[in-house]
Structure 1
Amino acid sequence: MTTVGIVTGAGRGMGLACAQRLSTMVDVLLVADLDKDTIATAAETLTASGTATIEPVVVDISDAEGVAGLAARVAELGTLRAVAHVAGISPTMADWRRIFTVDLIGTALLARELRPLVTTGTATVCFASMAPILAGLSADETVAAILDDPLDENFLDALREALGPAIEDPGAAYSWAKYGVQRFVRREAVRIGPSGGRICSVSPGMIDTPQGRQEAQQHASMEALVARTPVGRTGRPEELAAVVAFALSDEASFLSGVDLLVDGGVCAAVRG
């Protein structure tokens, strides 16, 4: 039996760190990213350091046809064993519609296409964020119903109507999109459980990656959050990857439908 893994957003940062861990956990690892050159370079690095056969895939995670092709390739290669869905965009990278499309709709698209491949031992980790936890987000019945159906063709318009113009702020959109991811994995855990699969989300705090540094340059408040972090520093990509690797391993076989907050304790400091 050939075991297959997927890492999205694998070109750099936390995605590349996760791919480095998964490259020793499966026989074949599909590393996906939107940028052709970035993922090609990452694939070379992973081939030199891991034991899995590395196959780079250029895909936009919000493109249904591209995601379906990724799933089809998994089916050709073997048995789906592990998925680290890291791909996403942050508030400084796009407008509110694109943020929701990539971060939440893309997550639902990937899960939908991979669902028929789930079998005993399949495990998935989707990346959320500490942002909705810091913001204390809570959805009323109307908003929750919309968030829980991100593949509805009227999803974005319905959400804009329910939440009002404030949702057009990229920071607010990011928080709500990642809140949607946290909700999504709870529902997905129930869907794939009978097939033997597991799924969790991981919510990073402030991590020292190119994307994280870009956000910090635009938001001075992040420096204050680092100062309040009990661990006393930003996180490293490999620290997130270690948590993801555990959640995907057989040692975490009773772990499903939960969010794993990896933030150095800053949410405890701020919210507590």
Structure 2
Amino acid sequence: MSATVIITGAAGGMGIPTARRFAAQRRPLLLCDVSAGKLESLAADLRGEGASVTTLAGDISAPAFPQDLIAALGDAPLHALVHTAGLSPTMADPRRILEVNYFATERLVAALLPRFETGGCAVLISSMSGYLLRDPAMVAAVADMVAGKGSAAVEGFAVDPGMGYTLSKRAVIALVGREAAAFGARGLRICSIAPGFIDTPMSRAEQQQSEQMRQMITMVPLERLGVGDEIASVAEFLCSPAASYVSGCDIPVDGGILGRLGL
């Protein structure tokens, strides 16, 4: 039996193309999203194309979500997790953003670790914004939080949703580095992808609110926005045997903007 691929945020701008890529591999899919209606619409489309799809609608930050996900997985072996679910700055307050983007991610990774088949991979979504965090005190606060030394300092620095988002995504990058050893001990890998400016509904909402973001988009060396499938294609690669020695790292997919900024 082919092992399952779990995709969170499956009905979003990165989740949909990711689901389509793994469906084309004839992998059984377990798709998760907070929007039950959008999730079922996607599942119906994929099933119509011959895919095997199970769905779980819910809030990934709910305490019971990891166990609900494991229950939905049942006895099936797990090939990959592609975790695209998250909140952007216009969607919540700083503490809520930290909870969804980092703490819920940490719980999800811990719960699923024992369920992967040998050779499996977890791919998390960070952000190019994580590289914009330059204050040594903030960087140290994130490192301490990921090391289990408490989140008070990070919460103190999260003075607005934008900073909460940046801190949360820096923490996701650090989480991947932390978990590489535990995954490696089981013959597994874990990586993250740092999208730049990707043309998704979430990104378009952010552009409307942020003049700084609109200005930075004009600096992208490739002179365009990315598209969701350009993230999905990297996730597919990372979960394949072609990436069998790639683990514990973050991969920017940003059209060259971080290099242009000297980061």
TM interval, short-chain normalised: over 0.9
Among residues 106, 127, 130, which one is paired with 1:132 in the alignment?
Answer: 130
Q: List per-residue Cα deviations over 1:209-244 (Å, max 9, x = no partner).
A: 000000000001222212110000000111111111
Q: Is 2:1 the counterpart of 1:33?
A: no
Q: Which secondary structure does the structure 1 equivalent of 2:218 belong to?
A: helix
Aligned residues: CA RMSD: 1.8
Q: Distance in 1 between matches of 2:230 and 2:9?
A: 17
Q: How far 1:266 moved relative to its partner?
A: 0.7
Q: Secondary structure at the match of 1:37?
A: helix
Structure 1 position 260 matched with structure 2 position 251: yes
Structure 2 residue matching 1:195: 3-state secondary structure:
coil
What is the letter of the counterpart of residue 16 of structure 2? L
Supply the distance in 1 between the matched residues of 2:135 and 2:247 (Cα, whole angstroms): 22
**1:134–1:270 Cα contact (<8 Å) kept:** no
Gaps of 5+ in 2: none
Per the alignment, residue 117 of structure 1 pairs with 115
Deviation at 1:31, TM superposition (A): 0.6
Of 193, 199, 207, which aligns to 1:216? Answer: 207
Q: Which moved more, 1:134-143 or 1:252-261?
A: 134-143
TM-score (norm 1): 0.91
From 88, 97, 115, the counterpart of 1:90 = 88
Alpha carbons 1:97, 1:156 under 8 Å: kept: no
* Unaligned stretches of 5+ residues in structure 1: none
**For residues 207 and 9 of structure 1, what CA distance do their matches in structure 2 show?**
15
198, 223, 226: which is aligned to 1:235? 226
Change (3 A) 1:229 1:195: same
State percent identity of aligned pairs.
36
Match of 1:204 among 171, 195, 205: 195
Counterpart of 1:159 in structure 2 is 154
Counterpart-to-counterpart distance in 2, 1:246 and 1:218: 33
CA contact (8 A) 2:141 2:154 kept: no
Q: Distance in 1 between matches of 2:26 and 2:101?
A: 26
Tell me how many residue pairs correspond in the alignment.
262
Distance 1:218 1:111 in 2: 32
Alignment partners' CA distance in 2, 1:25 and 1:199: 20
Displacement of 1:73 in angstroms is: 2.4
* 1:236 alignment partner AA: V
The letter of the residue matching 1:30 is: L
